[in-house]
Amino acid sequence: MFDVSFIPAFKDNYIWLLTRGDRAFVVDPGDAEPVLRRLAADRLSLEGILITHHHADHQGGVAELKKRFPVEVFAPEAESITGCTRPLRGGESIAVLGQQVSVMAVPGHTLGHLAYHAPGRLFCGDTLFGAGCGRLFEGTPAQMAASLDSIAALPDDTLIYCAHEYTEMNLRFALAVEPENPALLQRVGKVAAQRAAGLPSVPSTLGEEKATNPFLRCAEAAVIAAGMRHAGFAENAATAAIVPSRTEIFAAIRSWRNSF
């Protein structure tokens, strides 16, 4: 089993560092410099790079890292990724530091977005965040909702390694959706203490996300009611013969979050 730690980058990005002995992989190195500093400090040899999607803050450091290390670059086939040597579509199994990692197609934020699942760990880029999910820059609500469903099907103790420190901001929105959710209220206090102490709020567990993240709770009565109110058809909620689908509720919640 490899170890996982983070390398901070830009304002709020996390580049995940996977290590086993003196061997290393990195996930979404948007900036090469902090990665190179960490590799040198810990005397690590970079063997591979995992890319979730094409945005610059996730792949911008690949070219520089490849100048220093003859690495494999695993990345979405459907997107333009600098230096990609192993194009992936989802459904593959790849070897990472001696461990098998499953590749998941999770379109929504971008059309070719991938996540990498090792037992007990998910590296999901900008698909799922602490208490939130990524914006739909390229995909549809149906695609993102299906991607989140595939993540939700993993074991509840799976650690969610997302790519940004967005949890506190996302929790403020989650409280607007479910102000009386006790698990959510408890998480707000926990994350506030973590951030005040200078600690990251991630990884979280999938079980915690399913209890507090509105985008994984679109079948819950309180989230349905909030989504219907935001979409403007709560007036007919009591008598409506057709209840909005989970995808429609997701779309309403995501639209609300965009302008929150």
Whether 57 is a known active-site residue: answer: yes
Spot the catalytic one: 28, 54, 109, 230: 109
Spot the catalytic one: 28, 31, 54, 58: 58
CA distance linking residue 29 with residue 65, whole number of Å: 9
In order of 1, 183, 213, the CA distances from 16 in angstroms are 15, 27, 22
Whether 117 is a known active-site residue: answer: no
Spot the catalytic one: 28, 31, 55, 230: 55
Whether 53 is a known active-site residue: answer: yes
Helical axes 246-258 vs 141-152, angle rounded to 10°: 110
Spot the catalytic one: 28, 31, 54, 57: 57
Spot the catalytic one: 28, 31, 54, 126: 126
Whether 58 is a known active-site residue: answer: yes
Whether 42 is a known active-site residue: answer: no
Spot the catalytic one: 28, 53, 117, 230: 53
- Give CB contacts under 8 A, 24+ apart, made by 224-233: 224/249, 226/176, 226/177, 226/178, 226/253, 227/177, 227/252, 227/253, 227/256, 228/252, 230/255, 230/256, 231/255
Q: Which residues are catalytic?
A: 53, 55, 57-58, 109, 126, 164
